[in-house]
Chains A and B, each alone.
Chain A
Amino acid sequence: MALEIAGRTLQSRLIMGTGGFRNLEVMAAAVEASGADLATVAMRRVDPGARGSIVEVLEEAGCEVLPNTAGCYTARDAVTTAQLAREALETDWVKLEVIGDDRTLLPDPAELLEAAEALVSDGFVVLPYTNDDPVLARRLEDAGCAAVMPLGSPIGSGMGINNLYNLRLIVDAAEVPVILDAGIGTASDATLAMELGCDGVLLASSVSRAEDPVAMARAMRLAVEAGLQARRAGRIPRRLHARASSPEEGVAELADPA
């Protein structure tokens, strides 16, 4: 059931984002309940008043960090941010985000691809947050990305998977793991992603901003597991008409024959 990315084995197919939690305590409890063994962090200016180190809290929750490049709008900024994260956190893994505009937070495809190429050649394991565009996903894979992470819908929107068709095309074509990233609203969205053939799910807001983040984290863990098992079990085909599940023979004749 494990997920392998760039030779590293993740026991959980759920990767947690850590944005939006009220505090580090709730985050730690939710991450633990999610079963995730990888969680994203952002790189920001040191705050002298900050208490507690997020990296230590995540380590105690049994989770390793995956730095992101959130907040970057250009390939140059994203590459520098990834290099800073590598220096600070001693990991060459990066969730690459290069955003195109601040209303939709959709990725900028041209900058994203440029940053991915630069980071791959600098030795990074690049996990790009990408549009649900099969061609861009293929270009990112060709550039040497270790996975592709298409959005279901915009970050934090909770709208689920907006384009099932594109996601299927991405899953069918990809030879690297496909991780549905962004847009998950509730457990069934995560299940659907896994049923469609995604290899994992990355989510933050749906848990961190839920009324009960720890309970929702548990639900997401089960949802990802359920979707994976259902896919492997092989669903029945959809049919236009009904197909009785009880035997058609041997039905009693109870009314008077006409």
Chain B
Amino acid sequence: MTEVVINGWPRRLPADATLDLVVREAGAPEGGRGVAVAVDGEVVPRAEWPSRTLAEGQRVEVLTAVQGG
């Protein structure tokens, strides 16, 4: 297991969990439409989600558009 922080909440994930699973776990709509992900402050392009795993302690932000501005 790997302990990471997803949108500010500590989570334990299987060591082989990939970012597309994390995006689903965070509550994003199916396929992650309209969603973007940063790991430790760096943007991870959508194409890399299925192959990208996480290291212990990494911070994941899963963002989408909301009312604002």
- Chain A interfacial positions (CB closer than 8 Å to B): 17-21, 24, 27, 40-50, 53-55, 65-68, 70, 76, 80, 83-89, 95, 97, 204
Contacts and interface: CB of A to CB of B under 8 A. Distances in A.
A51 B35 CA distance: 15
Contacts of B67: 18-21, 24, 27, 41-42, 54
Contact residues of A: prevailing secondary structure: mixed
Contacts of B68: 17-19, 40-42, 44, 68, 70
Interface residues of B, number: 26
Given A80-B41, A83-B43, A42 B66 contact: yes
B64 interface: yes
Contacts of A19: 67-69
Nearest to B25: A48
Closest 7 A/B residue pairs (Cβ):
A42-B68, A48-B27, A40-B69, A88-B36, A84-B36, A87-B36, A68-B69
A173 to B, nearest CB: 26
A166 B60 CA distance: 43
Interface of B: 7-8, 26-29, 33-38, 41-43, 45-46, 61-69
A88 B41 contact: no
Nearest to A40: B69
A194 B27 CA distance: 43
A147 to B, nearest CB: 15
Contact of B69 (A42, A48, A53): A42
A46 B65 contact: no
Contacts of A66: 69
Contacts, number: 102
A44 B29 CA distance: 14
Given A44-B64, A44-B68, 11 more contacts: A20-B67, A27-B67, A43-B63, A43-B65, A49-B27, A68-B68, A68-B69, A83-B36, A84-B43, A87-B43, A95-B69
A84 B63 contact: yes
Nearest to A47: B27
Given A87-B43, A87-B46, A42 B35 contact: no
B26 A48 contact: yes
Contacts of A47: 27, 66
Contacts of A42: 65-69
Contacts of B66: 41-44, 47, 50, 54
A19 B33 CA distance: 21
Contact of A88 (B7, B27, B35, B42): B35
Nearest to B43: A83
Contact of B29 (A24, A49, A53, A84): A53
Given A46-B26, A87-B43, A80 B65 contact: no
B38 A46 contact: no
Contacts of A55: 34, 65
